[in-house]
Structure 1
Amino acid sequence: MFRLMFFEPRIPQNTGNAIRLVAGTGCELHLVGPLGFDMSEPKLKRAGLDYHDLASVTVHENLSAAWDALAPTRVFAYTAHSSTFHTAVDYEPGDVLLFGPEPTGLPDDVLGDSHVTDKLRIPMIPGRRSLNLANAAAVVMYEAWRQHGFAGSV
């Protein structure tokens, strides 16, 4: 399935919501450190409800370690600084869907990383900076999963 990656996430509740997202879609969550919270943070646990045991979550020390572990073929980085919408891609199982930290987004060195296949954006009306990280991840994850007929769902 798809691999959701949060680069240096800062807000535990967003990561908790992402845990629920990957548990519900059968995808993987990869967290790239340093994290802005401890994985035992009560807010993370509360947001993830009872889905923690149902989710595939891996914490990587840094981006280099994540690339080594995942050996990705395709990585899509989501940024407001792209003109290509997230729906313009034909997603494939194994794709890495890369999101940056709140509130800054992905830094230029990550956006320019040689592993990044393309930079994509989620459309919004003018004058809005960004969506909540967990919501943005859900929008993209469900588009990728929709393209594959919601494989594995009931």
Structure 2
Amino acid sequence: MHIVLVEPEIPANTGNIARTCAATGATLHLIKPLGFYTDDRHLRRAGLDYWHLVEVVYHDNFAAFCNSYPEAQLFLTTTEAKRWYTQVTYPPGSFLVFGKESTGLPPEILKAFPDRWIRIPMVSEARSLNLSNAVAIVLFEALRQQGFPGMR
């Protein structure tokens, strides 16, 4: 599985997501610009001693990411989606795409993949979930559907 963070802003969230990727064997893709330096102590601290277990791939922008993985099965998380994250089937090697903490995914990315949107249900008064929590929720559903491959 692949986790794609488009322009993440908060180092602690990215560090927590890296730790989740390490624990699940998922590859972490970071789409620039990043809102922090990758040597940021908060990023490293949140990932604890798991950094050697996670593959991190950097991309200059979303177009470069798409060019690197033209056949990728993308699932884009957005509060605008009609389908819940539990209502789709995630093939092995899927790419779960998340936007930056402050604004989510850019409209131009969403418009390019209108049939690939998913959402996590929540009460209408809530704007969104913490990014690292959202990643864990969707990733573990995808892994559950696949029988938690390579996990004990």
What TM-score do the two structures reach when normalised by structure 2?
0.96
Deviation at 1:117, TM superposition (A): 4.6
Residue in structure 1 matched with residue 96 of structure 2 by the alignment? 97
Map 1:15-30 onto structure 2 (within 5 A).
15-30=14-29
Distance in 1 (CA, whole Å) between partners of 2:48 and 2:16 is 9
Query: Within the alignment, does 1:66 sit opposite 2:53 as a pair?
Result: no
Distance in 1 (CA, whole Å) between partners of 2:54 and 2:70 is 21
Residue in structure 2 matched with residue 80 of structure 1 by the alignment? 79
CA contact (8 A) 1:17 1:47 kept: yes
Q: Can you give the 5+ residue segments of structure 1 that lack an aligned partner in the other structure?
A: none
Letter aligned with residue 144 of structure 1: A
Q: Can you give the 5+ residue segments of structure 2 that lack an aligned partner in the other structure?
A: none
Residue in structure 2 matched with residue 121 of structure 1 by the alignment? 119
How high is the sequence identity, in percent, across the aligned residues? 44
Letter aligned with residue 82 of structure 2: S
Deviation at 1:71, TM superposition (A): 2.4
Q: Once superposed, what is the RMSD of the aligned Cα atoms?
A: 1.1
Distance in 2 (CA, whole Å) between partners of 1:117 and 1:22 is 26
Deviation at 1:113, TM superposition (A): 2.0
Deviation at 1:72, TM superposition (A): 3.4
Deviation at 1:81, TM superposition (A): 0.6
What TM-score do the two structures reach when normalised by structure 1?
0.95
Deviation at 1:103, TM superposition (A): 1.4
Poorly superposed stretches of 4+, deviation over 4 Å: none
Distance in 2 (CA, whole Å) between partners of 1:73 and 1:9 is 21
**Any idea what SS the aligned residue of 1:112 has?**
helix
Deviation at 1:95, TM superposition (A): 1.1
Change (3 A) 1:85 1:147: same
Distance in 1 (CA, whole Å) between partners of 2:71 and 2:133 is 24
Letter aligned with residue 38 of structure 2: M
